[in-house]
Amino acid sequence: VTAKPILIYPNSGEFYDADRKEWVQNTGVSDEDFVSYVSKWCEVGASLVGGCCRTTPNTIKGIYRTLSNRSSVLSLR
């Protein structure tokens, strides 16, 4: 356990084929699936959530919407 902020910054989960030197399509998660984890990550202590390789602007928008909704709920408590 740590008192330091926890950062969640995963990629899309796609597989990179090093022999062919290309990403294998449809091996990662969809934007919707990716975003479905955001609240869970926050519940277990994430302070900052973002996206790395192969995430899209839509992924980031979804993260933003989820965190905005979560902030609204938390401020009502």
pLDDT digits (tens, 9 = 90+) for 13-70: 899 999 999 989 888 899 999 999 999 999 999 989 999 988 999 999 999 999 998 7
Between the CA of residue 76 and those of 20, 31, 60, what are the distances in Å? 51, 28, 24
The residue type of 19 is D
Q: What is the pLDDT of residue 72?
A: 55
Q: Pick from 5, 3, 17: which is nearest to 50 by CA? A: 5
Specify the pTM: 0.76
Q: Pick from 58, 57, 38: which is nearest to 48 by CA? A: 38
